[in-house]
Amino acid sequence: PFVLMIIIAGAVGLWINRTALGLKVFLVGTNRKAAQYSVMGDRKVIAWVYLASGFLSALAGLIIASRTSAASPDFGSSYILLAIVIVVLGGVNPMGGFGTVTGVILATVVLQMVSSGFNALRFSQFFYLAAQGGVLIFVMILNLVLENRRTNKSIAKSLRS
């Protein structure tokens, strides 16, 4: 699964960074109102993103089913918080904007190292989930504080001009 993850991350990175559709995904994430007035409407871009997300989710489901030799519709429910934490920790702003595939991969590696550390120290799964939630809250607050600082600096700079 690791090699497959690297291949898929590379393909997604190329798609996002090197194609017109990838640029439009960033545009919709940054300013949806402006994207509505662009050549390709925001609904088509969102439909493509949902299509890609569905395909990757199906692929993840196949990998999980092949590793466990079983299938159940609730197998992925335990990964919801983890997926959100990885994406936010990877630098993707949930309020809109953009992040990088590299950041998400690094966040995945860091959280896997934390998980291995918790297992080595024989901590309960509850503590790992609490740590994930704490990291998510911390990163969201940090992101908000940094965004407010950038906004205040740009306002102060424009007032001085």
CA contacts within 13 A on the Cβ side of 105: 14
CB 91 within 8 A of CB 100: yes
User: pLDDT digit string (tens) for 140-149?
Assistant: 888 889 888 9
d(CA 122, CA 142): 30
**Would the pLDDT of 100 be above 90?**
no
Q: Which two tokens stand for residue 135?
A: 């990291």
CB 15 within 8 A of CB 21: yes
State the pLDDT at residue 28: 84
User: pLDDT digit string (tens) for 56-86?
Assistant: 999 988 888 888 888 888 887 888 888 888 8
**Would the pLDDT of 88 be above 90?**
no
State the pLDDT at residue 122: 92
Q: What is the mean pLDDT of the chain?
A: 86
Predicted confidence band of residue 39 (pLDDT cuts 50, 70, 90) = low
pTM of the model: 0.76
CB 29 within 8 A of CB 45: no
Phi, psi (rounded to 5 degrees) for 112:
-70, -35
Predicted confidence band of residue 23 (pLDDT cuts 50, 70, 90) = confident
